[in-house]
Chain A
Amino acid sequence: MPKLSFFVFLLATIALVVLCSLSQPMGSKMPALGSFFSPFTGFWQNAEAIKQVEHLDLQMPDLQGPVSVRFDERLVPHIQAENLVDAMMAQGYVTASLRLWQMDMSTRATGGRLAEILGEDLLERDRLQRRKGILVTADRLWKRWQDKTEEKACIEAYTKGVNLYIQSLSPKDYPLEYKLMGFQPELWSPEKCMLFLLSMAESLCSRNYDIPATNALKYFGEERFRFLYPEYNPKQSPIIPTSVQWNFDTLSLEREPVFPVEALSEYISTPTLPNPPEGIGSNNWALSGQKTASGYPILCNDPHLGLNLPSIWFEIQIITPDLNAYGVSLPGLPGIAIGFNEYIAWGETNVGQDVLDWYKINWTDDTKQLYWLDGQAVEVESIVEKIQVKGKKQPVLDTVKYTQWGPIVYEEASSDYQDMAMKWMVHQAPGNRPFYELGAFLRLMKARNYDDYSTALKGYGLPPQNFVFAAKDGDIAIKVNGDFPLKRQEQGRFVQEGNSSANDWQGFIPKEQVPQVRNPERGFVASANQHSTDTSYPYYYNGGFDDYRGRYINQRLEAMQSATVEDMMALQNDSYSLKAEDALPLLLGILDASVAEHKGHPAVQNLRTWDKRFEGWSTAPVLFEQWYKEAYRLTFDEILENEINLLHPEDWRFIDMLAQTPSDELFDIKTTEQKEQAADVVLLALDTVLKQLDTSQTWSELQQFSVQHLARIPGLSHLHLPLNGYGEAPNANKPGHGPSWRMIVAFGEKNTAYGIYPGGQSGHPGSPFYDNMIDKWAAGEYDPLQFWTSSDFETAKGIQTLSLHP
């Protein structure tokens, strides 16, 4: 009897232990409960003590000299080193110690290695990343960087720093998310730095509308296509003022427009490569001393990116004998991406120019191994991607075919896709440059004047950015900078024939001929993702551009005199939208000219007195947005509800059509008997919207603004934030996207700088610095940024010092 009960208990105990040791037991999303709950190994170990140790010493054998890292009261590390390479090693260590899981996860996601840790559900996502050629490109990029001694040394030092941190961890120290998701950190590598660079390129310069545009051209015919989808809004206020003359010898190139795929007998069914979410954009501007109260320039920047926890930005100051710079870095890349020093400040917004084109491939036969190019049969180069999947012994193999143009992204045996190759600037080896992207940032960090800034940008290629600049000595400038293809008229707007190399890009726009301006007469430079230039710029470019923020910011800056830091803060937080200013009078005008009963509806009356600011507490923007969207949807029903993938007309075009061509046949709703005009559509839209409108719902309730954890883990996100803002307003808050870093640098006798981002310096949910800046950011407030000189180092107030010894 005792024997039996012993074995019963023993078995029961072992069974329970095993059950609680399984990660994601029985298909659930749960972690291995035993080690997760054990306070010796699990999540309790991630409850960081609020009171930090004041001083830590650490051996880092690869350092050349001692490095001191002092964290200020906002947990911003100020790194003081004897040389740049040591500083980069410290940056790697410090960044990993606060953001390791995020660095690991974002590079895995970009390279297509998620299924390895999360299982088969992520396999298709991984496959797509691989088929875009990203992992292959990261390896190639790093090979290419080998000849740039300084950048190579910095990347290697950063890698060492990250790995030193990883190697110091035992499983109980792993960041919380590893314990929740059941995987382990793996060592960092230079290729991962390249992957991170590519992740930025992917979110910023992979927009492509070639397929829906080609279909729309066939569907509507050329005349209607040009009417519906003009490339340039005449109201546009471009980045480079229209007064600028292009005083350079334009390269001669084939001017003939390339026409889309000849003999396009059928619509293209191949999927459009997913575009980065709408809402990725940014504002930046610089005022010269003539427009500021202090008489010194002010520079502002607020990049609009995905708002997540941990945040995409990490604040840092780096001091070496050669440089002293403060700003935000990207966890995964050494250096500072947006920032300032004693003499200059710089910032970026994204350039919308299209650098991703599709080419139709003509196979010689059904085996799809040879394709026609200039009358020759050319063989594809096949690369086999190995994708590891959690729980599977063998990796999944996927063969990707590379043509002269690039990889064939979508190829499914069972589909009737037209096989197309993706030509992407990101795949091209960087041209012969004195240095690359990291070298550009390192030079900006130590720049002292316009010439240094201008030199630094020569090494920068991707993703193309509008680099704004201001210097204490009075200069301001902006440069639409990066690698841009030389295109013929309308080249890359549509899918092109891949059987002739004459259809290829004709080279690149020379660096000195990119759109740029220094000290324009109007006393300011600014960009908000709008068109780089007016139509007089000698080279053709296409892409997706903002029509409202840029125009509004230019108007506001034009009118501004004696500007102060407070004025700049107000403009960054300004939720006024020109889109509402353009559209609302048209909508209300149509309503008032009609006999409709809704004229006196309280919600409509509310809208009449609305100031066109998208404030979180306001209810008026809810009706505006829904009314506008419904009118757009009803107007373009034949486009939006079509099974053919057709390009969506831009907002400004729709608003112009309401005003100028109200009897256009597009206003007719296909599903009704009668023939509608603009007025009918607008009234019907209002009727539909009012029927279901919750008149007490505020703008922020409708938008459900949030800052979510990267892996969407409940409890680690901030949901339902009472934010102001609108995608088409300077304060460009959209659900999940928005101003990811607001920075203002005011030069003066003594410079001052302000900044804030929706997150915190630490990526650890157990840290008080995980989300400490969110509320302040949401309220539109700023923190003063502490720019230290090396003598401040001893006296400045900090919460922790880390001494690194060789």
Chain B
Amino acid sequence: MKKGILFLVAFLILGAVAQMFLAWWSLVVVAAGLAYFFQLPPLRAWGWGWLGAALLWGGLAWWLSQKNDHLLAQRIGMMFGGLPPIGLILITALFGSIFGGLGAVCGSLARRMY
């Protein structure tokens, strides 16, 4: 649990910094690197990676959207069959977490090879 929380904190910070300057998939690389570093077992790596990415993507999406009174989210939601803003934020979070989870599993499995 402790390693997991450390992973999470590091992921939120490094993940945010990396994505501010690098491509979106730097999220995957950071998750992998941290899971490798913290030696998380695969299943837990997946869970924490999943959670971290969901918080990063969902959290930032929510923060930007609420400052905008969810105006844009409503319009984009129309492109997805009238999805409400909260739905779009959840999808964004889910999207991120697929990659956060996969990245962390890769890192974890890489560690296991040695």
Contacts and interface: CB of A to CB of B under 8 A. Distances in A.
B72 A43 contact: yes
B96 interface: yes
Interface in A205-258: none
A48 B79 CA distance: 19
B112 A6 contact: yes
Interface residues on A, range: 35 or more
B72 A46 contact: yes
A13 B104 CA distance: 10
A801 to B, nearest CB: 21
Interface string B37-71: 00000100000000000000100110011011111
B92 A39 contact: yes
A9 B102 contact: yes
Contacts of B76: 43, 715
A51 B71 CA distance: 13
A765 interface: yes
B106 A9 contact: yes
A763 to B, nearest CB: 13
A41 B99 contact: no
**Top-4 shortest CB links A-B:** A715-B78, A47-B68, A766-B72, A38-B24
Interface in A1-47: 2-3, 5-6, 9-10, 12-13, 16-17, 20-21, 33-35, 37-47
A264 interface: no
B113 interface: yes
Contact of B72 (A16, A17, A34, A765): A765
A396 interface: no
B20 interface: yes
A51 B67 CA distance: 8
A37 B95 contact: yes
18 contacts: A2-B112, A10-B106, A10-B109, A12-B102, A13-B103, A34-B24, A34-B99, A37-B57, A37-B95, A38-B57, A39-B57, A40-B20, A41-B23, A43-B72, A44-B60, A47-B68, A51-B67, A714-B79
A50 interface: yes
B113 to A, nearest CB: 5
A715 B71 CA distance: 11
B68 A50 contact: yes
Given A16-B102, A35-B23, 8 more contacts: A6-B110, A10-B109, A21-B25, A37-B96, A39-B57, A39-B61, A41-B23, A766-B68
Interface of A: 2-3, 5-6, 9-10, 12-13, 16-17, 20-21, 33-35, 37-51, 176, 713-716, 765-768
A716 B75 contact: yes
Contacts of A12: 102
Nearest to A41: B24
B77 interface: yes
Contact of A9 (B67, B73, B92, B105): B105
A21 B102 CA distance: 16
A340 B33 CA distance: 63
A2 B111 CA distance: 9
A35 B92 CA distance: 11
Contacts of A51: 67
B98 interface: yes
A17 B110 contact: no
A5 B67 CA distance: 43
A769 to B, nearest CB: 10
Contacts of B96: 37-38
Contacts of A38: 19, 24, 27, 57, 96
Contacts of A13: 28, 99, 102-103, 106
A33 B69 CA distance: 24
A50 B23 CA distance: 27
B25 A34 contact: yes
Contacts of A39: 57, 60-61, 64, 92
A39 B55 CA distance: 11
Given A16-B102, A17-B99, A21-B25, A47 B65 contact: yes
A6 B109 contact: yes
B103 to A, nearest CB: 6
A51 B96 CA distance: 28
Which residue among B71, B72, B102 has the maximum number of chain A CB atoms within 10 Å of its CB? B72
A715 B78 CA distance: 5
B67 A49 contact: yes
A592 B106 CA distance: 84
Contact of B113 (A3, A41, A42, A767): A3
A402 to B, nearest CB: 44
B71 to A, nearest CB: 6
Contacts of B67: 47, 49-51
B69 to A, nearest CB: 5
Which residue among B20, B25, B75, B95 has the maximum number of chain A CB atoms within 10 Å of its CB? B75
B60 A40 contact: yes
